[in-house]
Chains A and B, each alone.
Chain A
Amino acid sequence: NAGVTQTPKFQVLKTGQSMTLQCAQDMNHNSMYWYRQDPGMGLRLIYYSASEGTTDKGEVPNGYNVSRLNKREFSLRLESAAPSQTSVYFCASSVRTGNTEAFFGQGTRLTVV
């Protein structure tokens, strides 16, 4: 039972490079999320997709774009990476929005040099 799968697990980018973080869930969940985790900051919401075909900004969306490719997949794109985007990125999914628990992927450690 895979749950939420993120790729890659680690990535090093140079400033200005672009990349896409991939996320897929096999739980038939409607809602998906991208968070970033910085030291001493907890997790903060970047973007989310309440249902297939919709995306919305979270707390820290600047510098990112997302695509809900289908019900299973939700990608996060950095168009021009900056050192401030060095972080651990988590994808999560929920059966629906609102009062329900979230299931997390294993995280991607991204370093921008």
Chain B
Amino acid sequence: AQTVTQSQPEMSVQEAETVTLSCTYDTSESDYYLFWYKQPPSRQMILVIRQEAYKQQNATENRFSVNFQKAAKSFSLKISDSQLGDAAMYFCAYRGPYSGGGADGLTFGKGTHLIIQP
């Protein structure tokens, strides 16, 4: 079974600084997707960025970028120029191919609570 590990329960960063959230995962698949979701106090799950494993280029979305190391099974999220609105829980998630032999759906890490200091 796939597992996703986020080793930082909480991170704190000064506004305008850069912060990196860590995520490692375990899978025997070669083709899969990885995601970072943001969950603000409103509870809504918001997709921040996604990475397709067959793509070597790291995904980037404005101030958000990832460092995808497939061999190391590592998928970190970098937030540049942190803003107060970035304060939230961040979840790393894995999704693999569905062959019908196991459950479909996302496997989530336990989350990292990001605090932005003004």
The residues of B that contact A41 with a CB separation of less than 8 Å are 110
Q: A50-B98, A98-B95, A98-B98 are in contact. Are A45 and B43 (CB under 8 A)?
A: no
How many residues on the B side are at the interface (Cβ–Cβ under 8 A)? Answer: 27
The reply to whether B108 and A90 form a contact with Cβ atoms under 8 Å apart is: no
A57 beta carbon closer than 8 Å to chain B: yes
In the complex, the answer to whether A107 meets B44 with C-beta atoms within 8 Å is yes
Given contacts A33-B105, A41-B110, A59-B103, contact A104 B45 (CB under 8 A): yes
Q: Contacts of A92 on B, CB cut-off 8 Å?
A: 45, 105-106
Are A99 and B96 within 8 A (Cβ)? yes
State in angstroms the CA–CA spacing of A107 and B40 once bound together: 12
- Residues of A75-104 whose CB lies within 8 A of B: 88, 90, 92, 97-104
**Provided the pairs A90-B45, A101-B50 are in contact, do residues A42 and B108 lie with their beta carbons within 8 angstroms?**
yes
- Name the CB-closest residue of A to B92: A42
| Contact assessment for A42 and B105 in the assembled complex, using a CB-CB cutoff below 8 Å | no
A48 CB within 8 Å of chain B: yes
B108 CB contact (under 8 Å) in A44, A50, A107: A44
Q: Does A58 contact B (CB under 8 A)?
A: yes
Residue of A whose beta carbon sits closest to that of B52 = A99
A residues touching B (Cβ–Cβ < 8 Å)? 31, 33, 35, 40-45, 48, 50, 56-59, 88, 90, 92, 97-104, 106-107, 109
Given contacts A43-B45, A102-B95, 18 further A-B contacts (CB under 8 A): A31-B104, A33-B105, A33-B106, A35-B105, A40-B9, A40-B110, A42-B91, A43-B91, A48-B105, A56-B103, A58-B103, A88-B43, A92-B105, A98-B95, A99-B96, A100-B95, A104-B45, A106-B43
